Every structure is written in C-alpha cells, then in structure tokens.
Amino acid sequence: MSKQSDWAERAAHHLRLRLEFGLFFIAVPVLIAVFFPPDWMFPSLLTFTAIGILLLHLTPGFAWAELRHNWRNWSWGELAAFTFAMAVFCSAFVMMTRPGAAFSLLRHRPELLAVILLAYPVLSALPQELLFRSLFFRRYHAILPNGRAAYLLNAALFSLAHLMYWSWIVTIMTFGGGLLFTWAYRKRGSFFYAVLLHAIAGNIIFAAGLGVYFYSGNVQRPF
C-alpha cells in the first residue's frame, strides 16, 4: 500500500510538473508572440522572467550558491576562439542579409551601443540563463528526456521563446545558441560560463548590426 501511495504521489507530482512546464515554456511564449502587441513584449517578458526566478527560488533543493559551482571551468583560449568565430560569422551574416544595418550602432550611435554592451549581460543574458538553464534543468529534471534529447528540447524551447520576433534568422540563431549555452551549463557544469558565452554572443550580435532582428519595432507578424 505504501509503495502504491508513493507511486501515485510521484505520478501526481510529475503531472503537475508537466503542466507547469508546458504552461511556462510553451503556452506563454506562444501567447505573447501571437496575441500581444509589440510594445507589450518587454513588460510581458519582465513578468515572465520574474515568475521564472520565483519558481527557481521555490525549487526543492535549489540554492543560489550553487550558481558559483565550476564557475572557472573554461579557458581563455577557448573563449578567444569563440569570440573570434562569432565575430566573423555575425559580420559575414549581416553583410549577406542586411548590409545596410552592418555595424550601424557602431557607426551612428556608439553611445547606445556602449549602453547595450554594458547592460545586455546583466539584464538579458543572466536572466535568460536563469530561466532556460538553471530553472529548466533543476526544477524539471524529473520529466526531461535523457542525454542529447534534453539538449535539443532545451534549444528548441529557447528558440520558441523568441518566436515573438517572427524571424527565421532569430529562430536559427537562438536554437544554435541554446545548444551552446546548454553545453556550457551541463557539460562544463558552469552557470557562469553559460552566461559569459551568452553575453559575448549577444554583444557581438548587436555590435555587428544583427540586433535589427531582435528589435520589437521591426516585428511583422505573418498574419
């Protein structure tokens, strides 16, 4: 009887987690993308982020101190190689897709670019990593698939969270970024490294001019 009771309790707990997971990582991003006007996106995202951070804080067994674990499990050479490859890729990509936007902030609004470079790591990269790496894997580990399937699911949902921009370029870039940041978080065991890679990638994107695809004022829904 006790075993049956334990099984039923675990099943109910997993069901609650699946419902919560589906609502938070699937339903809410789709609703924001489909129904919310572009000028509501950032207030909506702030609310979404606040709820996610609260859920992480309430996750059984989670302690904020664990975010410091293996924080230095990376090398300067690896980081330099990533930065160089990202800069080359973004520069080439913006020249192919939107040459008029190439390095536009650097050329015309360097002061705005400086603000973005300073603010993006703290106001964007950090909270996104809290939600899509720490919350995703710590709170919902019991219902996630094993191995690479979990990486692919994470990257797909990270990409889905950017559906609001309605851009295939954003979809591909965020999916690739999701795989990379998950690798840093899971394989290297370093939340800090995931945030660092995310911050560098985001800053290069804006410096190169690809930020035009991540600007809510440019959003055009296909319907």
Q: 152-207: per-residue pLDDT in tens?
A: 999 999 999 999 999 999 999 999 999 999 999 999 999 999 999 999 999 999 99
Interval 64-95: pLDDT, tens: 999 999 999 999 999 999 999 999 999 999 99
Nearest CA among 13, 12, 46 for reference residue 28:
46
Under 8 Å between Cβ of 175 and 156: yes
> What's the pLDDT band for 222 if we cut at 50, 70, 90?
confident
Q: What is the pLDDT of residue 130?
A: 97
Instruction: Compute the radius of gyration of the chain from its Cα atoms.
Output: 19
Q: What is the DSSP letter of 188?
A: S
Is pLDDT of 1 > 70? no
What integer is the mean pLDDT of 201-219?
A: 93
> What's the pLDDT band for 220 if we cut at 50, 70, 90?
confident
> What's the pLDDT band for 2 if we cut at 50, 70, 90?
low
Measure CA of the first residue to CA of the last residue in the chain; give whole Å: 55
- Other C-beta atoms closer than 10 Å to the C-beta of 198 total 25
Q: What is the pLDDT of residue 107?
A: 95
Pair of tokens at residue 116: 């973005």
Q: Write the single-letter amino acid at 191.
A: F
Q: What is the pLDDT of residue 218?
A: 83
Interval 99-143: pLDDT, tens: 999 999 999 999 999 999 999 999 999 999 999 999 999 999 999
DSSP string, 107-121: HH-HHHHHHHHHHHI
Q: What is the pLDDT of residue 136?
A: 98
Under 8 Å between Cβ of 8 and 139: no
What integer is the mean pLDDT of 39-53?
A: 89
Pair of tokens at residue 6: 């334990």
Interval 3-44: pLDDT, tens: 777 888 888 999 999 999 999 999 999 999 999 887 787 888
Q: What is the pLDDT of residue 180?
A: 98
Q: What is the pLDDT of residue 40?
A: 83
